[in-house]
């Protein structure tokens, strides 16, 4: 775990970082994002003491890093930068094994680790191990940079805009590969970017910064659904949530006061309720607001000669969704079952809301 406690950084009278407090969990992928000069790279570099804070403390696994040997600290933290920083006079093998060599790993162990890592980043050892950086493409160099950061098997990896200088196609591929690597290795990754698409694609949590402060630190889903303020909303884009429909839940768009009634109501009363509300169906609930079923105007017309109360005719087998179900799942259910409505219920079958086809039209049209 990485913990910032009351961290500030000043250059003369200019305060770059202002009393930051945050915690990064073990094996978590955290992205720092914000406009240029907001302090994100400064925060990153404080973790391996490339920059020292003016005040406050940073802890790794409850150990104050200011009391650690700085060389040993850095050798136990992987570091990947935009410029990649491979040594041009060293081969790929020599670049990757540099930190293990400094840590006095035996030759056989180093050689095995180089091959393992080249396989891991999708670069066959027999083809690339003895090449020099000038013989590699930008994407290949960055893969070697990632492999080198992983060489000594550190728990923490720092990545400072590592893909920003790569062409868009290679960048997308590298993002996918990094995500897959994290699923396998479970490292603690702190990643700086200015690209909100990259942040949403990679992060477990996103730390949004502005003028040296943390504005919002939360999951991508929470930030998309509940931006902290106008700055965050403008950063992510006001309509972005509809470009990321997997983050939109049924509870976000449901009608929260659907027309409902008790099964003891007469058919005439139900017709009157529907008429007043301008709907052609009504949800049937018990006294605890648990969903029992639904009655449509067509059901009432079909049963009016032989039934007096809704309990005699309402449909009991109703497809439902939970508030935290994705709207993609809701749309899929409505399409597969050819239904125009879906009640939203909690784990106790208590009615929470209703989604109809017009709900999607109204919500999307208003955004």
pLDDT at 359 over 80: no
Average pLDDT, the chain: 89
Q: Which of 94-98, 119-123, 247-251 has the highest mean pLDDT?
A: 94-98
Nearest-angstrom CA–CA distance, 79 and 300:
69
Q: What is residue 3's predicted lDDT score, i.e. its pLDDT?
A: 97
C-alpha count within 13 angstroms, C-beta hemisphere, residue 356: 13
Nearest-angstrom CA–CA distance, 260 and 284:
6
The H or E element spanning position 190 is strand 188-193
Q: What is residue 84's predicted lDDT score, i.e. its pLDDT?
A: 67
pLDDT bracket for residue 241 (50, 70, 90): low
pLDDT at 44 over 80: yes
Domain 251-366 sits in CATH at 3.10.580.10
Percentages (nearest 5) of helix, strand, coil residues in the chain: 40, 25, 35
CATH topology classification for 2-247 = Rossmann fold (3.40.50)
Nearest-angstrom CA–CA distance, 99 and 48:
15
User: How many other C-beta atoms lie within 10 A of the C-beta of residue 133?
Assistant: 19
**% of residues, the chain, pLDDT over 70:** 95
Burial class (CB in 10 A: 0-12, 13-18, 19+), 367: exposed
Q: Which of 54-68, 144-158, 233-247, 331-345 has the highest mean pLDDT?
A: 54-68
pLDDT, tens digit (0-9, with 9 covering 90-100), for 128-173: 999 998 898 888 888 898 898 889 889 999 999 888 878 888 888 8
Nearest-angstrom CA–CA distance, 58 and 222:
26
Please state the rounded mean pLDDT for residues 298-309: 82
Nearest-angstrom CA–CA distance, 340 and 366:
20
Boundaries of every domain in the chain: 2-247, 251-366
pLDDT, tens digit (0-9, with 9 covering 90-100), for 319-329: 999 998 988 88
pLDDT, tens digit (0-9, with 9 covering 90-100), for 30-42: 999 999 889 999 9
DSSP letter for 351, please.
E
Place of tokens 């035996």: 106
């Amino acid at each position: 775990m990485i913990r910032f406690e009351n961290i500030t950084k000043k250059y003369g009278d200019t305060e770059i970082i202002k009393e930051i407090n945050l915690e990064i969990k073990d094996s978590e992928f955290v992205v720092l994002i914000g406009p240029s000069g907001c302090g994100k790279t400064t925060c990153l570099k404080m973790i391996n003491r490339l920059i020292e804070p003016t005040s406050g403390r940073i802890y790794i696994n409850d150990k104050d890093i200011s009391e650690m040997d700085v060389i040993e600290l850095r050798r136990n933290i992987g570091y990947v930068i935009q410029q990649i920083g491979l040594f041009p006079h060293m081969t790929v093998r020599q670049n990757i094994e540099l930190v293990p060599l400094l840590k006095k790993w035996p030759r056989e162990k180093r050689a095995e680790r180089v091959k393992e890592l080249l396989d891991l980043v999708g670069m066959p050892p027999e083809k690339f191990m003895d090449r020099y950086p000038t013989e590699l493409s930008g994407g290949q160099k960055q893969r070697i940079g990632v492999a080198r950061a992983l060489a000594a098997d550190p728990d923490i990896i720092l990545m400072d805009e590592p893909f920003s200088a790569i062409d868009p196609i290679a960048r997308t591929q590298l993002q996918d590969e990094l995500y897959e690597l994290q699923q396998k290795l479970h490292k603690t990754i702190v990643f700086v970017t200015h690209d909100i698409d990259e942040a949403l694609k990679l992060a477990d949590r996103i730390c949004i910064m502005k003028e040296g402060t943390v504005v919002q630190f939360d999951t991508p889903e929470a930030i998309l659904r509940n931006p902290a303020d106008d700055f965050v909303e403008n950063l992510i884009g006001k309509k972005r949530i509809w470009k990321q429909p997997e983050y939109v839940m049924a509870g976000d768009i449901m009608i929260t006061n659907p027309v409902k009634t008790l099964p003891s109501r007469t058919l005439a009363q139900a017709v009157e309720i529907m008429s007043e509300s301008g709907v052609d169906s009504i949800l049937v609930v018990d006294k605890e607001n648990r969903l029992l079923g639904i009655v449509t105007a067509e059901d009432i017309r079909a049963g009016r000669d032989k039934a007096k109360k809704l309990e005699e005719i309402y449909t009991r087998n109703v497809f439902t969704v939970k508030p935290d179900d994705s709207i993609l799942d809701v749309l899929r259910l409505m399409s597969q079952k050819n239904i125009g409505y879906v009640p939203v219920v909690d784990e106790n079958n208590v009615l929470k809301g209703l989604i109809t086809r017009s709900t999607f039209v109204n919500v999307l049209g208003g955004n």
